[in-house]
Amino acid sequence: MEATQKDKQMVRFDTHPDRYKHWKLSFDGNTAKLGMDVAEDGGLRDGYALKMNSYDLSVDIELADALERIRFEHPEVKAVLVTSMLDRAFCAGANIFMLGKSDHGFKVNFCKFTNETRCGIEDASETSDIKFLCAVNGICAGGGYELALACDEIHLIDDGNSAVSLPEVPLLGVLPGTGGLTRVIDKRKVRRDRADFFSTVADGVKGKRAKEWGLVDDVYMGSRYEEQIVGRVKELAAQSSRPDGLTGITLDPIEIPSDGNDIELESVSFRFDRAQRLGTLTVRGPSGAQPTDPEAIHAAGSDYWPLRAFRELDRILLHLRLNEPEIGTVLVKSEGDAAAVLAADAVLDKHRDHWLVNEIIQYIKRTLKRVDYTAKSFLGVIEPGSCFAGTLLELILCSDRSYMLDDPDRPVAIDLSVMNGGSYPMGNGLTRLATRFLNDPDKPAELLAHGEAFDALEAEESGLVTFAPDDIDWDDDVRFAIEERTSLSPDALTGMEANLRFGGPETMETKIFGRLTAWQNWIFQRPNAVGERGALKIYGQAGIRPEFDWRRT
C-alpha cells in the first residue's frame, strides 16, 4: 500500500505539555488527570479526521511524554485519572482511516509504540507505585479499551450508551493489536468463552454485565459517577507508598536533526552507511566528575549521564524505527572508561531506593526493552576504547551477535556489575544473562561472582560474546558478518530475531510483543484485511461489504 507524502515526513518524538494537541494534563496535590481531547485535525497525515477521540501515533507520542513527565517532573503524584474530555465518547480507538492509508511498516511500528506506552503505564504502577484509574465516560472501543486495560482499575458509567468493546475482528478483519486479547485473558482473567463472545460482538458489553464478566471493576449511575471517581482516585493515592514532599527534575528536550545526516548527541551518536543499509550506534561513557549521592544526582537532573545517555538512545531507536526503515543492520559500539561506567553503576545500586535513582533505573530498563523490540539486526562490536561494562554491557547482551577483538597489543575487556544481576529484566521476566544461559541456570551467578574483567578469550569461553577473532581475522570477520546480514531478507530476519530474542518463560509482555504482534503483522499483510475489498481498506464506505477468501490458513 502506497504511503502518502505526509507518511514520508519525519516523525518527531520530542514534545512538551505546552505543545500537546490531544491531552490535557493537570495536577491536584498528589493526583494527576490525563484528559483525552483529541484534535480532529491534529493527525500526522492528511486525509483523515481524528473523530470521537480516535487516535494516531501523534496522540500516543503525547501520552508517552506525559507518563515520563509525571514520573520525573511530578514525583508528588501517587494516582492518575485517565478519562475523556468529550461527552459520551471515551475513545474510539486507533483511527481506522489512518490505518487504511498507512503502509505496512507504519502500522506495525504504530502498534509497537502503543504497546510500549501501555506497558509503561503498567511499569509505573509496578515499580513506582503510581496507580492509574480509567474513567470510561462514553463509548470505549478497540485501542480505547486497550488503554483502559493498561490501567489498574476501570470504572464505567452506566448511562445506557457507554460500553467497552474490542471490535477489530468483526469490523476490521484484524486484531486488538496493542495487547487487548492478552490483557483480557492474562491480566483481567476473563473466562475464555466470555472473552470469545466479547471479541466477536462489535457493540461490546455495557453496565452490570461488563462488571460481572470482569471487563471493568465497577459501574456507576450517571448521577454518582464523577463523585465516585474522584473519591476512588483519592483512595488509590492514599494507598501509594511514594513518599511525600518530593521535588522533580526537568526533562530537557532531545532533538533529532531532520536533515538525514549523521546524528551527534551528547552521549550517543549514529553514523549512516546508506549504501550498505547500515548504521553504527556509539554510546559514550561518562566523562568528568559524576554525582555520587541522590542530592547531586537531583542537581544534575536530566544531564546525569545514565539518564542522558539512555534518553538519547531511546530517541535514536524511535527515530530509526519510524524514519529510517531501510537501515536494517546496526553496529553497537561504545567509547570511554569502563571504570567510570562501573562507578556510575555502583552509585545507582547504592541509592536505588531513592525515588529519582529508581526512576532512572526503570527508564534504562524500558530503553533496553526498546532495543529488544526493535526490528533491526544488532551486532555488538567490542574493540579498543570500548567501555562495555555493567549497564552498557547490557547492549552487548541485547545484540543478536557480538564480536570482541583478541589482540594482545591492544587489549580489550568487558566487565559485569551488580546491575546485570536483575536491575533490567527483559519482557520474559528474566535478566539478559539468565536468558542467554537458559541451558545453565547457575551460570549467571558464577559470572557475576567472577570479580574481574573478562579479556576477549575469557569472554568468548564464558559465553558473554559470540566470537573473539584475532587481529589478523578481525576486519574480515566483521566485514563478512555485515555483508551477510545486509544481504538477507529483512522480513525473514525480523521473524527470526523476534523468535530468538524471546527465549524462556512466556509472560503477558512476551505474548504481546512476540505472539500477538507476529499475528497482527501477518494479518496486516493479508488481502482479507488490506486487499481492495479487505475489511480494513473499505471500512466506512457505505453499502460496501468486505470480500473474504474463506480458506483457513
The confidence band for 183, taking pLDDT boundaries of 50, 70 and 90, is very high
User: How far apart are alpha carbons 437 and 423 in whole angstroms?
Assistant: 17
Residue 12 has pLDDT above 50, yes or no: yes
- What would the mean pLDDT of 518-538 be, rounded to a whole number? 86
Give domain status of residue 370, yes or no. yes
303 domain residue, yes or no: yes
> Within a domain: residue 533?
no
Q: Say yes or no: 267 and 226 in one domain.
A: no
Where is the domain boundary, 496, 519, 545? 496
- d(CA 472, CA 410) in angstroms, rounded, equals 13
More confident residue, 350 or 46: 350
Claim to verify: residue 155 and residue 216 sit in the same structural domain: yes
CATH number at residue 43: 3.90.226.10
- The answer, yes or no, to whether residue 120 has pLDDT greater than 80, is yes
Q: Indicate the angle between helix axes 104-128 and 355-372, nearest 10 degrees.
A: 150
The predicted pLDDT at position 495 comes to 85
C-alpha cell at 551: 480458506
Residue with cell 574480515: 476
**What one-character-per-residue DSSP string does 19-85 give?**
G-SSEEEEEETTEEEEEE---TT-SSSSS---GGG-B-HHHHHHHHHHHHHHHHH-TT--EEEEEES
Q: Are residues 120 and 155 in the same domain?
A: yes
- For residue 112, tell me if it sits in a domain: yes
Alpha-carbon distance of 362 to 72, in angstroms, equals 11
Domain that holds residue 120: 16-238
**191 shares a domain with 275:** no
Residue 342, pLDDT score = 98
Number of domains the chain contains: 2
Confidence bin at 2 (pLDDT 50/70/90)? very low
Q: 3 pLDDT exceeds 50?
A: no
Residue 541 burial (10 A CB sphere; 0-12, 13-18, 19+): exposed
Whether 360 is covered by a domain: the verdict is: yes
Residue 6 pLDDT more than 70? Answer: no
pLDDT at 300 over 80: yes
Compute the average pLDDT of residues 119-147.
97
Amino acid at 198: F
Grid cell of 317 as nine digits: 531507536
Considering the domain boundaries, does residue 527 fall inside one? no
Of 246, 266, 461, give the one whose Cα is nearest residue 358: 246
Which region among 3-12, 187-196, 316-325 has the lowest average model confidence (pLDDT)? 3-12
Q: 286 and 341 in contact (C-beta within 8 Å)?
A: yes
Question: What confidence score (pLDDT) does residue 512 get?
Answer: 87
pLDDT-derived band of residue 100, with 50, 70 and 90 as boundaries? confident
User: Higher-confidence residue: 303 or 3?
Assistant: 303
Query: Chain-wide mean pLDDT for the chain?
Result: 94
* pLDDT exceeds 70 at position 502: yes
User: What pLDDT was estimated at residue 499?
Assistant: 85
What does the pLDDT average to over 71-75? 98
Residue 296 reports pLDDT greater than 50: yes
Are 141 and 287 contained in the same domain? no
Partners of 24 in the β-ladder:
35
Quick one: pLDDT at residue 177?
80
Position 415 confidence tier, pLDDT thresholds 50, 70, 90: very high
Q: Are residues 285 and 329 in the same domain?
A: yes
pLDDT of 325 over the 70 cut: yes
Secondary structure E strands in 367-504: 377-382, 401-404, 413-414, 454-455
- The SS3 of residue 385 is coil
pLDDT at 541: 86
